[in-house]
Amino acid sequence: MRGKVTIVGAGFVGATAAQRIAESNLAHVVMVDIPQKEGPTKGKALDMLESAPLMGFDSHIIGTSDYKDTSDSDVVVITAGMPRKPGMTREDLIATNTSIIKSVIEPVVKNSPKAILIVVTNPLDAMVYAAYKLSGFPRERVIGQSGALDSTRFRSFIALELGVSMQDVQALVIGGHTDVGMVPLASHASVAGIPLAQLLSTQQIEKLIERTRKGGTEIVELLGEGSAYYAPSAGVTQMVEAILLDQKRIIPSAVYLQGEYSVKDLFLCVPVILGASGMEKVIELKLPLNEQEMFKKSAELVRQTVGQVRL
């Protein structure tokens, strides 16, 4: 029996995530957006559904503005929010997107009280904190999608630099989902089991780390309007798959830390095991001193951002 996934926000990230999830036959999908966008939301859903015979999937997709259609969802992915424009930081979106999160959490919780929430809206670490506080859900069921995206960017850049298959690259990014707070872990990056430090110079690695931190900004500047959606939707799909199929996959995600990594009462990205219960375990890594310091500074920056959230 297929599960049910609701995508809140039928923009580029939401619609692309809905398409990926449906085409993977993971779940039936409901895209929900504001009443003013009900027509386009239904149109996108119908368009996706009509591709099913060609793409070989049987998942149903509907578009709606009525949260009753989302009832009893297993996973709810929140993508709704204003995207960045060139010159904007993620933190510039706090007031507007906090208001949007407040407007969607109540109907989501009312209709799917047992769901696992995956928050994508920026600034991620602050918005997932807002969703956690407003929903009243346990921390295991409120997760931010950041590390899956940031890590795939790091992996991609490493593969491009070395000219190797992207499938052979393993790398993690932890910390805040910000240009300055992101912590790509060079110490834990490898290619087919070979430590990255044996393949690239310190200078090359530093350039890859910096590009990873500014990966989202690079795309925003290139697009000129809107922000990334192909890689973010792929990250969402990976997380949804791990949860619905109870895969126990280790995926870096923003979770509410309660003493892990010496951080308390704050959402930060760390490696976690994702399964049917949501966040099932935090993996605490042994980090070299320089990465410990970067993580500590990241926590301080995120705490400042969260302090601007008004619920």
Rounding to the nearest 10 degrees, give the CA dihedral for residues 248, 251, 254, 258: 50
> In terms of pLDDT, which residue wins out, 226 or 185?
185
Domain count, the chain: 2
Residue after which a domain boundary falls, among 144, 174, 193: 144
* Whether pLDDT at 1 is above 80: no
Q: Which domain holds residue 90?
A: 3-144
* Whether pLDDT at 89 is above 80: no
Task: Please indicate, yes or no, if residue 311 is contained in any of the structural domains.
Answer: no
Question: Could you tell me if 61 and 165 lie in one domain?
Answer: no
Question: Could you tell me if 87 and 224 lie in one domain?
Answer: no
How confident is the model over 268-308, as pLDDT tens digits?
A: 999 999 999 999 999 999 999 999 999 999 999 999 999 99
The reported pLDDT for the residue numbered 136 is 98
Question: Could you tell me if 40 and 129 lie in one domain?
Answer: yes
Task: Please indicate, yes or no, if residue 23 is contained in any of the structural domains.
Answer: yes
Residues 260-265: contacts with CB under 8 Å, at least 24 apart: 260/284, 261/295, 261/299, 262/296, 263/299
* Whether pLDDT at 155 is above 80: yes
User: For the residues 220-242, what does the mean pLDDT come to?
Assistant: 95
The reported pLDDT for the residue numbered 311 is 85
User: Please, which pLDDT band fits residue 91 given cuts at 50, 70 and 90?
Assistant: confident
Residues contacting residue 18 through CB under 8 Å, at least 6 positions apart: 7, 10, 29, 31, 44, 45, 48, 61
CB-based burial, 274-299: b 16+ in 10 Å, e otherwise: bbeebbeebeeeebeeebeebbeebb
The reported pLDDT for the residue numbered 70 is 98
Residue after which a domain boundary falls, among 111, 144, 177: 144
Residue after which a domain boundary falls, among 99, 126, 144: 144
- Percentage helix, strand, coil, to 5, in the chain? 50, 20, 30
Residues contacting residue 21 through CB under 8 Å, at least 6 positions apart: 5, 7, 27, 29, 59, 236, 237, 240
Task: Please indicate, yes or no, if residue 204 is contained in any of the structural domains.
Answer: yes
* Whether pLDDT at 88 is above 70: no
Task: Please indicate, yes or no, if residue 70 is contained in any of the structural domains.
Answer: yes
Average pLDDT, the chain: 96
The reported pLDDT for the residue numbered 93 is 82
Task: Please indicate, yes or no, if residue 89 is contained in any of the structural domains.
Answer: yes
Distance CA 243, CA 21 (A): 12
* Whether pLDDT at 29 is above 80: yes
- CATH assignment of the domain containing 249: 3.90.110.10
Question: Could you tell me if 219 and 235 lie in one domain?
Answer: yes
Question: Could you tell me if 185 and 107 lie in one domain?
Answer: no
Distance CA 12, CA 37 (A): 13
User: For the residues 257-267, what does the mean pLDDT come to?
Assistant: 97
* Whether pLDDT at 84 is above 80: no
Question: Could you tell me if 125 and 160 lie in one domain?
Answer: no
E-only strand ranges, 214-277 = 249-258, 264-275
3-state secondary structure of 236: helix
Helices then strands, each counted (H, E), the chain: 10, 14
- CATH assignment of the domain containing 50: 3.40.50.720
User: For the residues 205-216, what does the mean pLDDT come to?
Assistant: 97
Distance CA 92, CA 269 (A): 20
Catalytic residue set: 177
The reported pLDDT for the residue numbered 86 is 77
Question: Could you tell me if 103 and 185 lie in one domain?
Answer: no
Question: Could you tell me if 174 and 301 lie in one domain?
Answer: yes
Question: Could you tell me if 166 and 273 lie in one domain?
Answer: yes
* Whether pLDDT at 131 is above 90: yes
User: Please, which pLDDT band fits residue 225 given cuts at 50, 70 and 90?
Assistant: confident
User: Please, which pLDDT band fits residue 90 given cuts at 50, 70 and 90?
Assistant: low
Contact 13, 120 (CB under 8 A): yes
Task: Please indicate, yes or no, if residue 116 is contained in any of the structural domains.
Answer: yes
Question: Could you tell me if 101 and 36 lie in one domain?
Answer: yes
Question: Could you tell me if 92 and 174 lie in one domain?
Answer: no
| 14-28, 75-89, 116-130: range with lowest mean pLDDT | 75-89
Task: Please indicate, yes or no, if residue 169 is contained in any of the structural domains.
Answer: yes
Question: Could you tell me if 54 and 76 lie in one domain?
Answer: yes
Task: Please indicate, yes or no, if residue 90 is contained in any of the structural domains.
Answer: yes
